[in-house]
Amino acid sequence: MSEKEIRGASEAEIAVLWGEEPYVYPSTEFIAQANMTDPGIYKRFSLENFPNCFKEYADLLDWYEYWHTTLDTSDAPCWKWFVGGKINASHNCVDRHLARHRNKTAIHFVPEPIEEKTEHVTYQELWVRVNEFAALLRDFAKLKKGDRVTLHMPMVPELPIAMLACARLGVIHSQVFGGFSGRACADRIVDSQSRVLITMDAYWRNGTLGDHKKNADIACELAARDGQKVDTVLVWQRYPGKASSPTPMVKGRDHYVNELLPDFYGARVEPEKMPAEDPLFLMYTSGTTGKPKGCQHSIGGYLAYVAGTSKIVLDIHPEDVYWCMADIGWITGHSYIVYGPLALGASTVVYEGVPTFPDAGRAWRISQDLGVNIFHTAPTAIRALRKLGPEEPAKYRYRYKLMVTVGEPIEPEVWRWYHAVVGKGEAAIVDTWWQTETGGFLCSTLPALKPMKPGSAGPGVPGIHPVIFDEEGNAIPGGTGRAGNICIRNPWPGGFQTIWGDRERYVRQYYARYCRNPQSKDWRDWPYMTGDAAVEAADGYFRILGRVDDVINVSGHRLGTKEIESAALTVPEVAEAAVVPVAHEIKGKEPDLYVSLKPGFSPSAELEERIGQAVVREIGKIAKPRKVWIVRDMPKTRSGKIMRRVLAAISNKKDVGDVTTLANPEVVEEIARMAG
């Protein structure tokens, strides 16, 4: 598939392409201490040894009962891993570490205000708090195995505590990113049929203690309107004993967790022995159609996969201090702040606020103070830190052995600053490419075994066998320079099991395109389609070009263009809306929103503002358009389809190409004058 053939106004189409860069080698010091230095791992995880190779990851965990079937394909493409196995994620992330690491820090919590002290939650304390909260969930909130509960929590230790308490009971958690709106939270409550919401009254962000409780009220009200009643809202107080939100508690529905907890003082809850293939959590993400979809992740397969990849890709040893600056509300945080590192008994950092508060040195001071030696973040944060304080890292005495980048393609120039300045030329870098759906890494170098290549994610990680297909389903070999749809040939234990309540959409969206035989029970017939475009180099390294579908990656956060368009359409004057990605130097991409008005209405700055605010209200601040362009009419094909490709070209100041076949070519010129 050439770039031109990638449909619509996709990210891949406007991707900034760079060439193949020379290798950069990790230091001998790094290699000497690495968890994985045996090149034989690639052979062990080759397709010949599939699926049994994944036993190596499952054996990192404690099982109540060992499984009898590694991979059950009888319900293809809903794969079941480690069937027959019984396991509990909370036990694996907490209880089993007590014998040797009781007094070790499990979670370093760094509040955003600099005058507040870092909280060091030991494994013992984590165990106590998880048990007491699990007892509360079971006995007060009446939650039981298989129930879904929605969490709308900020970056505080109470979030992993709540997740692990749910996991202990076999309750399925669904954490909604704290920055999302009450409306977005409501949609997820309804889809997952949650009757309990867990939230916090307030949290710090960029120097402000914002009212978060109000989002819970909006969420419950809107969910009820859509037919899902929330009967219990559990509200943690950011400062226990003190109300930090002016929003009143609703009698009979809302309860302060810290007022209930004394009733559960000393309570201990036996972890449920859960079937490995039962769901652990739902994580909603944006897709090609309007509604966000709940990716359902399993207990056994998921935990094995994130533990295994945390060990060999992130090189986490129990004595490491590991800081992933993502938000736990995204998959990166679930897999690589909470479940992976805690399964390995490491110390993981949870930072409440923004990385540049109060200045560009904050991240480096946190690293210095806590002795962080593995640092994990996204290109958007790296670009922002570089812009605000290119000389800052040199002022601090932290020392990283490994650094991670995730979420979007990283420009080689930004990569080199990360390596030379943040990593002080010493740290190895892994560029990890994956998705909410995949649970864990798909492509990355193994840091002690493969050289790094700036701007390239690297080969498939052990057990992941990527392939690039053209539009006809022919594999494009490496080294041709041709882009195509990157797919994975085989299932793996971290992959999501289905879309919650919508198996048909799961099959259609991820498998239908390249499936060789829809009746087949053989995994070889079901390549997984990621929705990204990529190029494979001659050495088997993959360069990711971005999304080929209607998804925009803003600061590493995934937003559906349809979601933003629907938000704009809630404004009564708006007749049509179209969103396109625009390249941005820090965020990677930003949404530009084009709207046309219903007859009788005229454009105004006030209306533009109101439309922008509607997007913030419906989704959250991260979705706010760069600019709202009110246009007389949308460029359309003769069949009436909005030509987003043309709008994207205008927004990105690129050539719009041949528009003479459109129904209304004259509006293109008009819009280009306005937005160009």
Buried b (16+ CB within 10 A) or exposed e, 467-500: bbbeeeeeebebeeeebbbbbbbbbbbbbbbbbb
Residue number with CB closer to ligand PRX (137 or 551) = 551
| Minimum CB–partner distance for residue 663 and ligand PRX (Å) | 32
Smallest distance from ligand PRX to CB 95, Å: 28
Contact (Cβ atoms closer than 8 angstroms) between residue 8 and residue 645: yes
Residues at the site binding ligand PRX, with contacts judged by CB under 6 A: 285, 331-332, 406-409, 431-436, 457, 530-532, 544, 546-547, 553, 558
Q: Which position has the token pair 């062990």? A: 44
Q: Which residue is nearest to ligand PRX (CB)?
A: 436
**Residue (127 or 528) nearer to ligand PRX, CB:** 528
Q: What is the SS3 assignment for 363-391?
A: HHHHHHHHCCCEEEECHHHHHHHHHHCCC
Angle at 313 between CA 546 and CA 67, to 5 degrees: 105
CB of 457 or CB of 630, closer to ligand PRX: 457
598 burial (CB, 10 Å; 0-12 / 13-18 / 19+) is exposed
The three-class DSSP label of residue 11 is helix
Instruction: From 602, 581, 601, 595, select the one nearest 630 (Cα to Cα).
Output: 595
299 contact partners, CB below 8 Å, separation of at least 6: 87, 88, 89, 167, 274, 275, 276, 277, 278, 279, 280
- Calculate Rg over the CA atoms of the chain: 24
Instruction: Tell me the closest approach of the beta carbon of residue 90 to ligand PRX, in angstroms.
Output: 24
- Give the pair of three-digit tokens for residue 305: 């996969």
Q: What CA–CA distance (Å, rounded) separates 30 from 399?
A: 12
Q: Which C-beta is closer to ligand PRX: that of 176 or that of 662?
A: 176
Rounded distance between C-alpha atoms, residue 129 and residue 199, angstroms: 16
Six token digits for residue 263: 């009733």
Which of 453, 547 has the CB closer to ligand PRX? 547
Nearest distance in Å: CB 285, ligand PRX: 5
Could you give the CA distance from residue 262 to residue 257 in angstroms, rounded to a whole number? Answer: 9
Which residues lie closer than 8 Å to 560 by C-beta, 6 or more apart? 286, 287, 288, 289, 290, 292, 550, 551, 552
Helix (H, G, I), strand (E, B) or coil at 242: strand
Q: Nearer Cβ to ligand PRX, position 87 or 282?
A: 282
Strands 627-631 and 588-597: parallel
Residue 437 CB, shortest distance to ligand PRX, in Å, is: 7
Task: Enter the tokens of residue 408.
Answer: 């979007």
Closest approach of ligand PRX to the CB of residue 443, in Å: 8
Residue number with CB closer to ligand PRX (203 or 510): 510
Q: Minimum distance between the CB of residue 219 and ligand PRX, rounded to whole angstroms?
A: 21
Cα–Cα distance, 552 to 650 (Å, whole number):
17
Distance from C-alpha of 184 to C-alpha of 343, rounded to nearest angstrom: 30
Q: Identity (one letter) of the amino acid at 517?
A: N
- In the complex, the smallest distance separating the C-beta of residue 589 from ligand PRX, rounded to whole angstroms, is 10
The closest of 246, 250, 201 to 224, measured between CA atoms, is: 250
Q: How far is the CB of 37 from ligand PRX (least distance, A)?
A: 23
Task: Output the smallest distance, CB 126 to ligand PRX, in A.
Answer: 25
Least separation in angstroms between residue 228's CB and ligand PRX is 25
CB-nearer residue toward ligand PRX: 204 or 433: 433
326 near 376, Cβ under 8 Å?
Answer: yes
Rounded distance between C-alpha atoms, residue 177 and residue 327, angstroms: 8
Tell me the closest approach of the beta carbon of residue 20 to ligand PRX, in angstroms: 15
Give me the least distance between CB of 450 and ligand PRX, in Å please. Answer: 15
Helix (H) or strand (E) holding 93: helix 89-93
Q: How far is the CB of 18 from ligand PRX (least distance, A)?
A: 12
d(CA 438, CA 335): 10
- Of the pair 392, 590, the CB lying nearest ligand PRX is at 590
